[in-house]
Amino acid sequence: MVSQKLSDLNKQHGGLKIDEVSLAQLVGGMRDVQCMLWETSELDANEGIRIRGYSITELREKLPKIPNGTEPLPEALFWLMLVDEIPTAEEARFVTDQWIRRSQIPEHVYKVIDSLPIETHPMTQFSIGITSMQTQSIFTRRHQEGMNKNEYWNATYEDTMNLLAKIPRVAAYIYRRTYHDGDHIKPDLTLDWAGNFAHMLGIKDPDFKRLMRLYLTIHADHEGGNASAHTCHLVGSTLADSYLSLSASMNALAGPLHGLANQEVVSWIYKMIEILGTDTPTDEQVAEYIKSTLAGGRVVPGYGHAVLRKPDPRFLVQKKFAEDYNIKSNLIDIVWQIFRVAPPILESTGKIKNPWPNVDAHSGAILVHYGLKEFNFYTVMFGVSRSLGVLAALCWSRALGLGLERPKSVSSEWLGNYVQSKTSPSKNGKKEQVS
Ligand SMILES: CC(C)(COP(=O)(O)OP(=O)(O)OC[C@H]1O[C@@H](n2cnc3c(N)ncnc32)[C@H](O)[C@@H]1OP(=O)(O)O)[C@@H](O)C(=O)NCCC(=O)NCCS
């Protein structure tokens, strides 16, 4: 068993150093410091994400689909993350059925969301909606009753399944409330998880259901160090239940440097169209716009990554989807044009480590094509998908009995003194070098 193996490793080799931390890493957001366990996926700087060893292309090909379907089922991805095996079509169907069975939302959740001003950002509504469902937590109830810690993973699994069953419905409720005068659409319980989400959003094109299956699969997991994953892990390490851990994770996703970038990409392109007065700009015009963004001390949204150093395979698979389904629009052309024009400009700054597009550079343009134009909602869609990965990982953290996170912090005064002590002349008159 994985947990036994981990405990043996810890007992026998607990003192083994697996990484070091430089001053630059401490100041610069702990980039690349290997200091957390995450079972479900691993990110390679050049290859991109592998979920349980499978690349994005392999997942699209190998995961079960609906009968005669073309795109992977997120339910199947969830099984893979949890069980470490690609499920059969029947096993994926089991997850779909479970989520249909558990999808009823307590009435008070709608009331809580409805009590918020209509202009509340959809991510704020989403986070509050998830928190308000915490009244249902099995983990918290059983913990108060004195649950044995060997049962933690099981109670977390139950909460996770209940929560994932409800997430698309809460998200669709927020969308219809905010942008369609509260004209809600009843779930279609004959559909799969992503298909039903597409249905409840109110977009009728069958290809949009296909897009949602792919979209909710590829945004799910990106190893443990990214802000939404790490936040879920950190909050979960306090034994906060799946609901509290996930809502915290969604608050991290709502930051512009993380999941909010997908809405920023579209608004940044629309701004360019408005300034230039055309939605078929020349390469020179796009280049000038990118340069003016950089000159204004702003980031080019959808470009760069803390770990990746090549075009994000999640960007490329969305481009492939648009090609496969013959999706054409001036907005998509601009996205591809930026893919051509931006990297050399970003590279020429000499400081941006990754001049290539990330997942957020493409998603909005396809959503606009299907009529989902309200870009303030995009991060909620990312969040529906990300819930799969962070909650599968939370189940594993509980199964492995991982401890409360509590890294050591230091003050800048301590840091200054430390550097001084390491660089001041030693007895033989030479300075000690800090590498
Ligand atoms: C994702 C991101 C936060 C990673 O940050 P990071 O790990 O610090 O990236 P780097 O090490 O390459 O950053 C080095 C410098 O380049 C800048 N940089 C990185 N990406 C940039 C971009 N897309 N546009 C402009 N500047 C960028 C950083 O702001 C930093 O500048 P500074 O030294 O003046 O502070 C960053 O690339 C970014 O802000 N991208 C745009 C937002 C986005 O798409 N987010 C979604 C990520 S999936």
**DSSP secondary structure of 410-430:** --HHHHHHHHHHHHSB-TTSP
Distance CA 192, CA 313 (A): 25
Q: Give the active site residue among 121, 233, 258, 362.
A: 258
In the predicted model, what is the mean pLDDT of residues 156-174?
A: 98
Known active-site residue 305: yes
pLDDT for res 430: 58
- Ligand 1 pocket residue status of 351, Cβ below 6 Å: yes
Q: Give the active site residue among 121, 222, 230, 305.
A: 305
**Rounded (10°) angle between helices 193-201 and 206-218:** 120
**Rounded (10°) angle between helices 360-369 and 378-399:** 130
pLDDT tens across 31-81, in order?
Answer: 999 999 999 999 999 999 999 999 999 999 999 999 999 999 999 999 999
* Phi, psi (rounded to 5 degrees) for 329: -160, 160
pLDDT tens across 79-100, in order?
Answer: 999 999 999 999 999 999 999 9
In the predicted model, what is the mean pLDDT of residues 374-401?
A: 97
Residue of the nearest CA to atom 47 in ligand 1? Answer: 258
- Ligand 1 pocket residue status of 312, Cβ below 6 Å: no
- Ligand 1 pocket residue status of 226, Cβ below 6 Å: no
- Ligand 1 pocket residue status of 305, Cβ below 6 Å: yes
Residue 54: strand, helix, or coil: strand
* Phi, psi (rounded to 5 degrees) for 309: -130, 15
Distance CA 91, CA 79 (A): 8
Distance CA 423, CA 130 (A): 51
pLDDT for res 431: 56
- Residue 395, both tokens: 């189940």
pLDDT for res 1: 81
- Give me the DSSP letters along 223-281: -S-SHHHHHHHHHHTTT--HHHHHHHHHHHHTSTTTTTHHHHHHHHHHHHHHHHT-SS-
8 Å CB contact between 293 and 346: no
Distance CA 267, CA 274 (A): 10
pLDDT for res 380: 98
In the predicted model, what is the mean pLDDT of residues 279-307?
A: 97
pLDDT tens across 98-112, in order?
Answer: 999 999 999 999 999
Q: Which atom of ligand 1 is nearest to the CA of 302?
A: 44
- Residue 364, both tokens: 């909005």
- Ligand 1 pocket residue status of 345, Cβ below 6 Å: no
Residue of the nearest CA to atom 16 in ligand 1? Answer: 352
Mean pLDDT value across the chain: 96
Q: Looking at the predicted structure, is the pLDDT value of residue 429 above 90?
A: no
In the predicted model, what is the mean pLDDT of residues 174-195?
A: 98
DSSP label at 44? Answer: E
Residue of the nearest CA to atom 39 in ligand 1? Answer: 257
Ligand 1 center–CA 208 separation, angstroms: 31
Lookup result for tokens 């490329």: 316
pLDDT for res 116: 98
Q: pLDDT confidence of 435, banded at 50, 70, 90? A: very low
Q: Which atom of ligand 1 is nearest to the CA of 31?
A: 7
Q: Looking at the predicted structure, is the pLDDT value of residue 231 above 60?
A: yes
Known active-site residue 258: yes
Q: What is the pTM of this model?
A: 0.95
8 Å CB contact between 246 and 390: yes
DSSP E strand stretches across 265-323: none
Dihedral angle of Cα 156, 158, 159, 163, to the nearest 10 degrees: 130
8 Å CB contact between 380 and 123: yes
- Ligand 1 pocket residue status of 260, Cβ below 6 Å: no
Ligand 1 center–CA 376 separation, angstroms: 21
Task: Report percent pLDDT > 90 for the chain.
Answer: 96
Q: pLDDT confidence of 424, banded at 50, 70, 90? A: confident
- Residue 278, both tokens: 């055309």
- Ligand 1 pocket residue status of 337, Cβ below 6 Å: no
Mutate to test the pocket of ligand 1, among 260, 263, 299 (most ligand atoms within 8 A of CB): 299
Q: Which atom of ligand 1 is nearest to the CA of 354?
A: 12
Q: Which one, of 199, 212, 197, 219, lies nearest residue 70 by Cα?
A: 212
- Ligand 1 pocket residue status of 354, Cβ below 6 Å: yes
pLDDT for res 427: 57
In the predicted model, what is the mean pLDDT of residues 174-192?
A: 98
Q: pLDDT confidence of 142, banded at 50, 70, 90? A: very high
